[in-house]
Structure 1
Amino acid sequence: MCCWRSLAARWRPQFGGAAWQNNPGNSNQPTIPFGIPRRFIVKKSFWVVIILLLVLSAFPLASQAAPLTKLSWRAEYFDNPNLSGQPQLSIFEPRFGHDWGYGSPAPEIPVDHFSARFTRTMHFEKGTYLFLLTVDDGARVWIDGKLIIDAWSIGRKEQVKAKIRLDTTGDHEIQVAYFEHTGLASIQMEWVQLGGENDIVGAWKGEYFGNRNLAGTPVMTRQDSAINFDWNSGSPHPRVPRDNFSVRWTRSIYLAAGHYTFRVQHDDGMRVYIDDKIIYDSWFDQEVSYEVGIVPIKEGFRTLRVEFYDHVGNAVARFSIDGDPGDYTDTVPDPNEQATIVDNSDPGFMWYGPSPYAGRGGFGGDFVWTYNRSTTAVSVGKWMPSLPAAGNYEVFAYIPANRSTSRSATYRIQHFGRVAARTIDQNRYQDEFVSLGMYYFDARGNEFVTLQDNTGEGSGSTQLAFDAVKFVKR
């Protein structure tokens, strides 16, 4: 009641002019303006007080509206490396991540042998998330009390990954424990949602259009686990026409910094973008084309976009990039890659033309070679594999270190009733397999690779080497 009285006592109606001069009986009380009853002034004062109180109750202070634990991280710092005892410093920090170098978080914390605990409650949508931790020295991460990252050891760790599925939408508690041994001290963590409630983790978003130029609204949108399609003369879906259609695939993935090899195969046109920067452009009508390229990529989450169109006839769309984490499941590559190899001394290799020269070295210890011809072919080497099953195979040619000086060696790949040509500069390579592309083989025994001695260079000016050809199932 004292608050009410205090507020009411401080508030008084203010009127100016002659209205204040019409009260000769009591000079200590404010006069009432002419024509306004006293009961009206009292009632008006009461209702103004009520309105003010309602306004204040409707807008509480910021500290009452949202706890700090939901707006920032609670950081507790300890003067020992194992979170023992009471923290020497407890503060709220707006962002997560520190690089203290050779220093410490605060004067009361030593530069070595300290620890910290970071806690925050955050809103997450239902779905699958990828957490990435970089730390020097050690850390552990929990979500709702469940340990998802355990990197509690001395030494720097780069991009420790954990994939977690959150089955409910709402508030979830993140807790991070950290310790510093000696030397540099830092901790960084980020996360990204890989997929929503019904998404396929690591999938491409495919938008299919009923025209060749990605115009208008897609006639169909779906998730594609990979861009690896050979629709032949058919259609991707009953809602998509068999000719004159286009597709846009998009996907965000985490990639470490480095140079990445990407592979494309398409009929008709294709374009590839990374973070909206075009890295491959072949947007015109064409037969099946296979290309391999190398692109530098900065570390972080990169957005890949692949655009494709088909005019008429066959439709093929394939794209892959080395180092693609897929669904972010850790896998150990098979060191014994299964491949079908046809060497120059195997029954599957045939020679047509004058006898070639014998070369020492290369795959298996020997190879054959010949001088080039300018226009008309005189000699042809042919590799015919015995493939175990139909499917996509990447084809490689082995280039020995010597007798391989032609800069225009054209290999022709006969596969699935089609012929693809791939020209390479043999002079660039030394004792290594070089990719000629990925192709579909029906494995019926009538598919092969040939290399002719006509290169377009001056006759007898260069040498072509004929060594092993390898077929790797993809």
Structure 2
Amino acid sequence: MSIKRIVILLVLLGTAVFAFTTNAQQALAATNWTAKYYNNQNLSGSPVITVTESNLDHDWGDGAPHQNINIDSFSAEWTRNEYFAPGTYRFIATMDDGMRVFVDNNPVIDVWYDSQVHTVTADVYLNGGNHDIRVEYYEAGGKAVARLSWALVSGASTLWRAEYFNNTSLAGNPSVIRDEGQINYNWAGSPVSGISADMFSVRWTANVPVDAGVYRFTATADDGVRLWVNNQLVIDQWREQTATSYTADVSVTGGTVPVRMEYYENGGTAVAALTWSRISGAAPPPAAPQPPTISQWRGEYYNNRDLAGSPVAVRDDSAIDFVWGSSSPIPNVVNSDHFSVRWTQTVNLPAGQYTFTANADDGVRLWVNGQQIINAWTIHNVQPFYGTISLPGGPVEIRMEYFEYSGLAEARLTWSSTSGSSSPTTPSQPTGTGVPTTATMSGAAHLTVRSGPSLDSEAVGYLSNGQSVTLLGRDAFTIWIKVREADGTEGWSSGRYLNANAPLANLPILNE
């Protein structure tokens, strides 16, 4: 063999060895996190240490992540590039204190505030391929926990036949026909070459394989949308509107189910999305139709705590009986925290005196027959609130408003007739009257005291479980309470963990 051939062979072998090593290194890297730790709470400056971690599953307790990292007041960032088969994934984040999760630089979980250990989930559809995962975390004080995992909750994407029309009524022959892996669009211009940026419509059709059960379909649109499942029209919102989500619960016997979604865009923003998930097991056998004893509640869901602006989702709820825990009421549409809901309905009730009971974590207000009988619009753990009212009989309008601040979320409403006679309305009040003077910290090992009513304010101390403080005032939303410790230290802490001798909402508002 000539020297030239030997050299070529050695080069080829070296290239093959290098390629094998590189691929092996890439496969290994895909299973590990790159972790950066900082001795501050805001990921600023250069990291103190950078390490590789196989799992993001930490419970440091009262300790530190590393000998060179603070026990408290530290932050961390984890990054990873991971391959995902196409489908919807549930990201599960557990933290104490704050955490943010990004997928391909899009935020999917954002709980960037002091908190005790709790879990938040988010469902995200991912196309098949590699995706960048980034997690940001900070620890203020006390216990420190940071965990993230994910699981596939629905199978690979269905192939949709998409027909695009250059009109808003799906009239004539489509201008463009193509196959698409999902319906999840927020178009800034033309949806596809050959279609106008405004005044267009689309029809998507697919045969979707599903197991037997009850499925919740969520269609989001700006402007009009219609949805058929198993050849039944289940959503019909064919009108101009801002981006709004609508849901429909559908029972299927399993197998392949035909699904059709129609959409039109008039002008401005163009949004079209469709998701679904199974919410219960096998569908029961069909029952004989029964006349409903009570109509549906119209639920309007907002991604803020004060019912401001337009709802992000509008749906019919059969009852106000929700224990969401740390999950979202409508995953991937409504926030897990910092959301609000308004339910309305007209109910036929016989004449008599009624007691209404609203169980809520956090704030709740209730109007019956035009009168407000419950007003507990504050941050608190789950507890019942009561209101009584005499009704003349006949149709009665009921409106319940609710907001969730953070942590666990629960909203339930029931009522009962207490007598057949008339009596004045008795508004509900949180336990106790007067202005509170002292409180005991409970529900956490430690609670941060800050120089101002904001997470951006400097930490000036910590309260221990069972510690008593003097109450000085509150912010406008009763989220932050100004306290004085026994040694004279004054600062602001979260009202969620302060058990006072009277309602915190009765404290004077301090503008600081």
| The two structures share one fold, judged by TM-score above 0.5 | no
Task: Please state which structure has a larger fraction of its residues in strand.
Answer: 2
Q: TM-score, normalised by structure 1?
A: 0.38
Structure number with larger C-alpha Rg: 1
Q: How high is the TM-score relative to the length of structure 2?
A: 0.36
